[in-house]
């Protein structure tokens, strides 16, 4: 994906870090770099807007909490899988 203009940072690299940018998980310098790229590149900005919109929709749609019993069973199963994995790698 590219708008055809040269950029300091390749579109592929920007798109690889897009979710971290959306989730505010990057250092300030990285955020500035991505924001600068988005200001210049229409296709990447469109992809960013789409991903941000989808993330917001999913967050709004997933506001329900699982029943306590289900939550407990899922957490127990996660612990069981972790133990199995750790014993297999030893």
Q: By residue range, what is the domain housing residue 49? A: 11-65
pLDDT of residue 49: 96
pLDDT tens per residue, range 60-86: 887 778 788 998 999 999 999 988 887
Question: Is residue 44 included in any domain, yes or no?
Answer: yes
Handedness of CA 47, 49, 52, 58 (dihedral sign): negative
Question: Is residue 37 included in any domain, yes or no?
Answer: yes
- The number of domains in the chain is 1
Question: Is residue 81 included in any domain, yes or no?
Answer: no
pLDDT tens per residue, range 31-64: 999 999 999 999 999 999 999 999 999 888 877 7
Question: Is residue 73 included in any domain, yes or no?
Answer: no
C-alpha R_g of the chain:
19
Question: Is residue 74 included in any domain, yes or no?
Answer: no
pLDDT of residue 41: 93
Scan for tokens 């909490």, then name that residue.
65
Closest listed residue to residue 9, CA positions, set 36, 43, 49 = 36
Question: Is residue 52 included in any domain, yes or no?
Answer: yes
Question: Is residue 5 included in any domain, yes or no?
Answer: no
pTM surpassing 0.75?
A: no
């Amino acid at each position: 994906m590219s708008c055809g203009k040269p950029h300091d940072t390749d579109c592929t690299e920007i798109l690889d870090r897009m979710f971290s940018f959306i989730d505010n998980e990057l250092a300030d310098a990285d955020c500035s770099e991505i924001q600068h790229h988005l200001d210049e590149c229409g296709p990447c900005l469109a992809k960013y807007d789409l991903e941000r919109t989808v993330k917001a929709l999913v967050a709004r749609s997933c506001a329900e909490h699982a029943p306590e019993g289900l939550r407990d069973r899922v957490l127990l199963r996660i612990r069981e899988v972790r133990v199995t994995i750790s014993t297999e790698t030893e």
